[in-house]
């Protein structure tokens, strides 16, 4: 009987060893004096927790020792031809981050709740875009046009919100004591209605992508790139010729007010992060749960995944492959359009040229990083948002880490992940392949 040769994967221990050496050089040999203070509560929290104070040198030594132990364990696992567990990789990443943050913030205060709240906000459009990307690619259509869908949603919601708010605010004034009392309610209603044009705009971009790639068999990546350029040029032209000259009328949407969930919003750390947010972020929570449930727990999701994995087999059992792809890509565009609305209605409060700043491509990277799974893609998007917010916080406290390096960090993590740090990454088998019924 022939014995199967053992396959040893040395990528995880090599990567662990590299980061352990970095930890040794930064956290121990170049340790910064002082302590890092982490406030755990805000003024609105019912329970006031004492700040966490960490000595940078001690934390650096402990973290480096534990990282070294994990590296040795991963090397033994690889030698025995066993796979390094995902939880171990996650633990390694968390410990390295704790050591890095404590080292970078030595002698300063890092507001942990504010850091996490900002990360969620920056991640929201990425999560919407990643959910749209997951649905599209699960059904077999590579969605490179996420950037265009986000930008179209941002533009449409800005114009609609600007036009709707004055009318709704005027209608509500008789019901409130003054304009200040009516403004939050008017902003919420106007914003919710303005989400509809954002959804439609995202679906329109998706319709063009689906029509050319599914019906006319044009290369999906090329169509996506062209759509991104088209939407960028169109919105920039309309911004210069329409929005800028009429800013007060067409580009002054009111942002969603924060809605605090009674009781839950006063829980330390968890409250500000999850239950003291705007309504569009609450919609994001719902979207993640709905997409995951629909994709893996319903017959519709099973058919969708069958079309993306083996369209010929799906066709033989009566599933209409191309109509299924068309409908799912439209749904994906609607979700991405909601993500675009966050820029104008949840964050900035006005539309600007190229305001998405490559968020669609980051969302696409999160899809790959998350292995085409809604929950994992959401976590990957949160990583990007956290790294982006972290570089802002570190620059404010005067950290020695260059902000340019922090901007590079999420991309470096993605490269390591896609290169095989967390295992073999394989997308849907039929993604990017047009289906021609014989």
State the pLDDT confidence band at 411, using cuts at 50, 70 and 90. low
202 and 73 belong to one structural domain: no
What are the DSSP calls for 87-140, one per residue?
Answer: HHHHHHHHHHHHHHHHHHTTTSB--HHHHHHHHHHHHHHHHHHHHHHHHHHHTT
pLDDT in tens, 122-165: 999 999 999 999 999 999 999 999 999 999 999 999 999 999 99
425 in a structural domain: no
Q: Are 325 and 214 in contact (CB under 8 A)?
A: yes
Work out how many domains the chain is built from and give that number: 2
According to the model, what pLDDT value does residue 384 have? 84
pLDDT of 3 above 50: no
The torsion defined by the Cα of 186, 291, 366 and 385, in degrees rounded to 10, comes to 30
pLDDT of 248 above 90: no
Residues 200, 205: Cα–Cα separation, whole Å: 9
According to the model, what pLDDT value does residue 241 have? 93
Listed residues 104, 136, 158: the one ending a domain: 104
CATH of the domain at 379: 1.10.3470
Residues spanned by the domain of 282: 114-397
83 and 148 belong to one structural domain: no
pLDDT in tens, 300-332: 999 999 999 999 999 888 889 999 999 999 999
C-alpha 35 chain-centroid distance? 32
According to the model, what pLDDT value does residue 79 have? 84
229 and 186 belong to one structural domain: yes
427 in a structural domain: no
419 in a structural domain: no
Q: Are 120 and 384 in contact (CB under 8 A)?
A: no
What are the DSSP calls for 30-80, one per residue?
Answer: TPPSSEEEE----TT-SS-PPPEEEEHHHHHHHHHHHHHHHHHHHHHHHHT
Mean pLDDT check: name the lowest of 37-46, 169-178, 400-409: 400-409
pLDDT of 228 above 90: yes
Contacts of 109 (CB under 8 A, 6+ apart): 36, 37, 38, 39, 51, 397
Q: Token pair for residue 80?
A: 């025995």
Q: Which residues of 22-39 are buried (b: 16+ CB within 10 A; e: fewer)?
A: ebbebbbeebbeebbbbb
For residues 198 and 114, the model is more confident at 198
193 in a structural domain: yes
Provide long-range contacts, Cβ within 8 A and 24+ apart, for 171-179: none
pLDDT in tens, 33-52: 888 988 888 777 777 888 88
118 and 250 belong to one structural domain: yes
What is the SS3 assignment for 250?
helix
For residues 323 and 8, the model is more confident at 323
Residues 329, 325: Cα–Cα separation, whole Å: 6
Question: Beta strand pairing status for 258-260 and 52-55?
Answer: unpaired
Mean pLDDT of 293-302: 94
Mean pLDDT of 92-120: 87
pLDDT of 7 above 70: no
């Amino acid at each position: 009987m022939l014995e199967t040769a053992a396959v040893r994967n040395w990528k995880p221990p090599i990567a662990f060893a590299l980061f352990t050496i970095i930890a040794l050089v930064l956290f121990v040999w170049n340790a910064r004096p002082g302590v890092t203070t982490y406030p755990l509560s805000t003024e609105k929290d019912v329970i006031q927790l004492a700040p966490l104070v960490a000595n940078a040198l001690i934390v650096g030594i402990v973290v480096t020792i534990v990282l070294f132990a994990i590296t040795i364990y991963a090397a033994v696992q690889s030698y025995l031809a066993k796979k390094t567990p995902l939880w171990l990789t996650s633990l390694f990443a968390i410990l390295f981050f704790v050591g890095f943050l404590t080292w970078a913030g030595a002698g300063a205060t890092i507001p942990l709740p504010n850091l996490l709240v900002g990360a969620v906000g920056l991640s929201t459009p990425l999560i919407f875009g990643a959910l749209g990307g997951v649905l599209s690619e699960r059904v077999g259509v590579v969605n490179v046009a996420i950037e265009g869908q986000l930008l179209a949603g941002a533009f449409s919601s800005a114009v609609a919100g600007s036009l709707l708010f004055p009318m709704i605010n005027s209608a509500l004034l008789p019901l409130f004591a003054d304009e200040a009392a009516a403004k939050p309610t008017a902003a919420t209603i106007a914003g919710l209605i303005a989400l509809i044009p954002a959804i439609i705009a995202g679906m329109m971009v998706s319709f063009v992508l689906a029509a050319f790639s599914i019906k006319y068999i044009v290369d999906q990546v090329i169509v996506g790139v062209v759509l991104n350029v088209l939407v960028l040029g169109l919105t920039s032209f309309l911004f210069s010729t329409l929005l800028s000259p009429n800013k007060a009328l067409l580009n002054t949407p009111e942002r969603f007010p924060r809605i605090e969930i009674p009781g839950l919003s006063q829980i330390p750390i968890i409250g500000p992060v999850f239950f003291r947010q705007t309504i569009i972020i609450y919609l994001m929570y719902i979207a993640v749960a709905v997409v995951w449930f629909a994709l893996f727990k319903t017959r519709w999701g099973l058919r969708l995944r069958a079309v993306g994995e083996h369209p010929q087999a799906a066709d033989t059992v009566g599933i209409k492959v191309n109509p299924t792809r068309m409908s799912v890509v439209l749904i994906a565009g609607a979700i991405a359009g909601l993500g675009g609305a966050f820029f104008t209605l949840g964050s900035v409060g006005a539309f600007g040229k190229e305001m998405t700043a490559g968020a669609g491509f980051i969302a696409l990277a999160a899809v790959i990083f998350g292995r085409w799974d809604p929950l994992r893609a959401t976590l990957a998007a949160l990583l990007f948002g956290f790294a982006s917010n972290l570089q802002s916080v570190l620059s404010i406290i005067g950290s020695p880490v260059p902000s340019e390096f922090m901007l590079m960090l999420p991309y470096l993590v993605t490269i390591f992940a896609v290169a095989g740090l967390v295992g073999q990454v394989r997308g849907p088998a039929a993604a990017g392949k047009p289906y021609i019924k014989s």
